[in-house]
Copies of this chain bind each other. A is one copy, B any other.
Amino acid sequence: MGNITIKMLAKQLNLSTAAVSKALRDSHEISPTTKQRVLDLAAILNYIPHPYAGSLREKKSRTIAVVIPEVADSFFSLALNGIEAVAIEKGYHALIYLTHENQEREREILKDLESGRVDGVIMSVAMKTNTFEHIRLLHQAVPLVFFDRVCEEINTAKITTNDYECGYLATKHLIEAGCKKIVLLSVSESLSISSRRMQGYKQALLDHQMDETLCRVIDYNEDLTMNYDLLIELLKSKDRPDGIVATVSKMTTEIYLACMERGLNIPNDIKVVCFSNDSNAPIFNPSLTTITQPAFEMGKLAATILFKALKRNSMVLSDESAVIPSDLLIRASTAGLL
């Protein structure tokens, strides 16, 4: 029983796996001579295409992959629901892969997907990812749509929200509520969404003639205990902030607990706004002002675009990219002084 793979054909022919794959799909990108070489060797070696190879119209796996950093975050779990709503309607399975924010893990997952296990991939890039070759290789093999955390370097559809405007809006809201010393709690600089939120924050400070020496950006760690200590130090300092913009939902618990520990009242001593989709924000003590992203809609649109491409049997195009705006939901954590 043979078990010839595209990789083995590619090695024998001294071609890339992508080229062999394209030749077998009769792609116009491959010359007739090369195509013939590939088909001849495939016949000699009795190459059998992978039964789940998405590239063969009649042999769809009826499966898509969703590659995301984690699920313990309401944004991603809501986005997943949006993706699955479409997948179920189309009669597809969605396989969910978690990168745990780890680039090496992400690389392994994409390598596995390259082999044609699924028909298409929807992906949100890991925080630690700073090289993109593994994503480029996947994009050559299967249709790919990004959502939220996109890879600018790769030319395919990207579904995002208005991160720059939201960074601006959150900061402006704190300034208008009377804050003078606003801290932005940020994560990885390599993520485009983080840098956009930060740019919005900086522009809002500029536009409102804020004293920039009193405002600053603080990088958050993966280790949550370290963050709690970092917050305690921040709140102890002489120039402690009177406003916090947190760019990630999971920062909320420690911000509240650190303020409690330091005896600081939210919103009287310090005001807090978080990027968050947590449905419990209204029952926090005090209820939390949030930038709430259209998570479900973003997932749904990403899936809709992917299935359109699958139906046409084509790669996904960047001109189908879309930006869906988020909302500022004002609650007690940013209320003005009574």
Q: Which residues of B contact A282 (CB under 8 A)?
A: 253, 257
Docked complex Cα distance between A51 and B48 (Å) = 10
Q: Which residues of B contact A257 (CB under 8 A)?
A: 282-283
The residue on B at minimum CB distance from A63 is B112
The reply to whether A3 and B48 form a contact with Cβ atoms under 8 Å apart is: yes
Contact with B along A30-66 (1 / 0, CB 8 A): 0000000000001000111111100000010001000
The reply to whether A96 and B93 form a contact with Cβ atoms under 8 Å apart is: no
Return A159 CB to nearest CB of chain B, in Å. 19
Return A312 CB to nearest CB of chain B, in Å. 24
Docked complex Cα distance between A287 and B253 (Å) = 12
Contact with B along A279-311 (1 / 0, CB 8 A): 110111111000000000000000000000000
Q: Which residues of B contact A252 (CB under 8 A)?
A: 280, 283
Contact with B along A55-82 (1 / 0, CB 8 A): 0000100010000001110101110110
A98 within 8 A of B: yes
Given contacts A283-B256, A285-B284, contact A98 B72 (CB under 8 A): no
Docked complex Cα distance between A256 and B5 (Å) = 57
